[in-house]
Structure 1
Amino acid sequence: MRPAELERVSVAEAADRYVELVRAKTLTGALSQATAEVYARDVATLVELAGEQTVLDDLTGEDVDGLLLAFARRPDGRRSDGGRRQSPSSQARFRRSISALFKHATLAGWVQVNPMTLATVTARERGGLRPERRALTREQAQGLIGAARSLGQAPAEPGRRRDQQTGLRDAVIVLLLSTMGPRVSELVRANVEDFYTNDGVRYWRIFGKGGRTRDVPLPRDVAEVLDDYLERGRAASADKALLLSWRGRRLARGDVQAVIDRVLARVESGQRRSVTPHGLRHTTATHLLADAVDMDAVRRVLGHSDLSTLGRYRDELPGELEVAMRAHPLLREPRQPPQ
Structure 2
Amino acid sequence: MSAFFKYAAVAGWVQLDPMRAVTVRPVQRGGLRAERRALTAEQAEGLLGAARGLAESGPAVPGPAAPGAGGGRRRPDQRTELRDGLIVLLLAAVGPRVSELTAANAEDFFVNGGTRYWRIFGKGGRTRDVPLPGPVAEVLDAYLAEGRGRLDRGREPKALLLSWRGRRLARGDVQGVIDRVLARVEPGRRRSVTPHGLRHTTATHLLAAATDMDAVRRVLGHADLSTLGRYRDELPGELEAAMRVHPLLGPLERRRGG
TM-score interval for Structure 1 and Structure 2 normalised by the shorter chain: 0.7 to 0.9
Name the structure, 1 or 2, with higher relative contact order (CA <8 Å, separation 6+): 2
Larger Rg: 1
Q: In 2, Cα distance between the equivalents of 1:306 and 1:283?
A: 19
User: Could you tell me which of 148, 153, 167 is aligned with 2:51?
Assistant: 148
Is residue 78 of structure 2 the alignment partner of residue 164 of structure 1?
yes
Which residue of 1 is the match for residue 235 of structure 2?
A: 317
| Equivalent residues of 2:55, 2:82 under 8 A apart | yes
Is 1:178 the equivalent of 2:92?
A: yes
* TM-score normalised over the length of structure 2: 0.81
Amino acid at match of 1:278: H
- Report the residue type matching 1:327 in the other structure: V
> CA 1:300/1:270 → structure 2, altered by over 3 Å: closer, same or farther?
same
1-side partners of 2:87 and 2:46: how far apart?
A: 15
**Aligned partner (choices 206, 210, 234) of residue 124 of structure 2:** 210
Return closer, same or farther for 1:192/1:291 CA change in 2, 3 Å cut-off: same
User: For each residue in 1:101-157, what CA deviation from the matched residue of structure 2 results, as whole angstroms up to 9, or x when unmatched?
Assistant: xxxxxxxxxxxxxxxxxxxxx369xx8x95456011111111100010110112476
Aligned residues: 230
- Name 2:41's counterpart in structure 1: 138
The residue identity in structure 1 corresponding to 2:123 is K
Stretches of 4+ moved more than 2 A in 1? 70-77, 90-95, 129-133, 155-160, 333-336
Contact 1:92 1:123 in 2 (8 A): no
- Partner Cα separation in structure 2 for residue 324 and residue 253 of structure 1: 38
Change (3 A) 1:130 1:71: farther
Kept after mapping to 1: 8 A contact 2:152/2:162: no
User: 1:72·1:91 contact (CA, 8 Å) conserved in 2?
Assistant: yes
Contact 1:71 1:91 (C-alpha < 8 Å) held by counterparts = no
After superposition, give the CA deviation of every residue in 1:233-280 in whole Å (9 maximum; x if it has no partner): 111232110000111000110000000011111111111111100000
Q: Which runs of 5+ in 2 are unaligned?
A: 11-16, 63-72
Matched, 1:269 2:187: yes
Measure, in 1, the Cα distance between the counterparts of 2:250 and 2:164.
55
- Which amino acid in 2 is paired with 1:93? A
The structure 2 residue matched to 1:198, chosen from 98, 112, 130, is 112
What letter is aligned with 2:215? A
Counterpart position of 2:209:
291
Instruction: Name the stretch that deviates more: 246-255 or 228-237.
Output: 228-237
For 2:206, the aligned partner's letter is: L
CA contact (8 A) 1:91 1:123 kept: no
Distance 1:72 1:294, change over 3 A: farther
User: How do residues 1-339 of structure 1 correspond to structure 2 at under 5 angstroms?
Assistant: 67-68=1-2, 70=3, 91=19, 93-94=21-22, 122=24, 130-132=31-33, 134-155=37-58, 158=62, 159-234=73-148, 235-238=151-154, 239=156, 240-333=158-251
Q: Distance in 2 between matches of 1:92 and 1:176?
A: 36
SS at match of 1:267: coil
Alignment-derived partner of residue 102 in structure 1: none
Partner Cα separation in structure 2 for residue 260 and residue 201 of structure 1: 27
Aligned-pair RMSD on alpha carbons? 2.7
Paired-residue identity, %: 69
Equivalent-residue separation in structure 2 for 1:169 and 1:307 (angstroms): 32
Q: Note the C-alpha offset of 1:160.
A: 2.5
